[in-house]
Structure 1
Amino acid sequence: MTSDALRRALTDPGDPPLPPLPGVAVELLDALDAPPRLAAHLRLVHDVARQLTAAFAEQFPLVPFDRQAVLFGAAIHDLGKIEHPEELSGPGSAHEEAGYQLLLRFGVPEERARFAVTHAAWHAPGVQLEDLLVSLADKVWKGKRVTDLEELVVDRLADITGQPRWQSFLDLDDVLAGLAADADRRLAFQAEHPVHG
């Protein structure tokens, strides 16, 4: 049974309103009695991914990517923190493989479960643009800008569009700066929800 604190983290409208997580993410969080702060965090990153992918599609219409995969990845990327709750408030990477294995055990296909690992493995072989977009959302939600991650995205954009690298950088920077502007509000929302249910 879902705790009141988890239910609130999943349904609190937020200001401005946050969209709900995809049904499968909610089912997993419910089934695993996830920490409320994790649910709040996943909602925030999912919302940033929603805004990021919308802006990306508008700014870079020639760049193909799977928006639904990015949104799913953002909604489940830190699921392994259920097994490693100490990583909700401190550093650590044990949640990455744990989340991947957890998702596989619950029947999530590998091509979607991979986001539990790839959101922190930008330079790994086979990382796709969708993985990088989840990583961007996971950083910019709190106003953090990561140069090497952004450079990887800029390189992909310049390669696909044929536009100069500096133009891709400026276009991406505009999108990310706009998203980062709401970081304080997001951090406050996350802090309203307890680490333990």
Structure 2
Amino acid sequence: MRPSDDELSRALHGPADPPLHPLPQVVADLLRTLDAPPRLAAHLRAVHDVARYLVAWTEDRCPGPAVDREAVLFGAATHDIGKVVHPAELSGPGSLHEEAGRELLVAHGFAPDLARFAATHATWTDGGTTLEDLLVSTADKIWKNKRVPELEDLVVARLAEATGRSRWEEFLALDELLERLGAGADERLAHQASFTTARPAS
């Protein structure tokens, strides 16, 4: 059975436990235009919410223009949008959604520099990866309390470079934050699972 638009609205704006910030309006509007599956909207909202905490914490540790807040939040809010094109990857493995998501965002008028996160969120080991890319990738892991030491080491290195503090100091601070953010993973996973992977009825 296809869900109603009410379920997509609930995924985008409804209450959650723990509470989740809403997606940027431009992203919510795009998901409605695409008739996105409610589970995808719920997932993007959860990752975006975690990214908000990550980027705020990073700004506190790295005063100045060290991180592009809006880019991180947009990237987190749209990183899996290619799963509209490849819906099987909502409930199973696959990477076809990555490039498809970048192309979809560009086709809808978003700048390539913002659209890139849909393609780069799983390729954080590639050369040219920015701190913004790493934060989106980290949010996409820690929302479900998945720890990836190699990814976290890259974040630590960038933080140490930006702050002048030791890697060990940055590691301890990041580890404490990720432990705290990961504590809400079970609730976020349950919230996401309460939504269907089917697209809304037109």
| TM-score (ref. length: structure 2) | 0.93
- Structure 1 residue runs of 4 or more that deviate by more than 3 Å after TM superposition: 59-63
Verify the 8 A CA contact 1:63 1:160 in the aligned structure 2: no
1:51-82 Cα distance to aligned partner (Å, 9 max, x none): 11112222343671011110111000000000
**What are the superposed Cα offsets for residues 128-181 of structure 1, whole Å, 9 maximum, x if unpaired?**
100100000000000001111101111111222222211111111111111001
Is 1:62–1:161's contact at 8 Å kept on the other side of the alignment?
no
**How does 1:65-104 map onto structure 2 within 5 Å?**
65-104=67-106
Match of 1:177 in 2: 179
Do 2:156 and 2:167's aligned partners in 1 also have CA atoms closer than 8 Å?
A: yes
Tell me the CA shift for residue 187 of structure 1.
Answer: 0.4
Q: Give, in whole Å, the separation in 2 of the partners of 1:46 and 1:114.
A: 16
Residue identity in the other structure for 1:141: W
Write the mapping of 1:145-184 to structure 2, written as runs, cut at 5 A.
145-184=147-186
Structure 1 position 15, deviation (Å): 2.1
Specify which of 38, 51, 54 is matched with residue 36 of structure 1.
38
Cα RMSD (Å): 1.3
Query: Larger deviation: 124-133 or 55-64?
Result: 55-64
Q: How many residues are paired up?
A: 196
User: CA, structure 1 residues 180+63, in 2 after alignment: closer, same or farther (shift >3 Å)?
Assistant: farther
Gaps of 5+ in 1: none
What do the CA deviations read for 1:172-193 (whole angstroms, capped 9, x no partner)?
A: 1111111001100100110111
Aligned with residue 131 of structure 2, among 125, 129, 132? 129
User: Is 1:63–1:161's contact at 8 Å kept on the other side of the alignment?
Assistant: no
Alignment of 1:105-144 (within 5 A): 105-144=107-146
Could you tell me the TM-score, scaled by structure 1's length? 0.95
8 A contact 1:10–1:40 mirrored in 2: yes
Compare relative contact order (CA 8 Å, sep 6+) and give the higher one, 1 or 2.
Answer: 2
Distance 1:182 1:63, change over 3 A: farther
Cα drift, residue 20 of structure 1: 1.2
- Which structure 2 residue ranges, 5 or more long, are not aligned? none
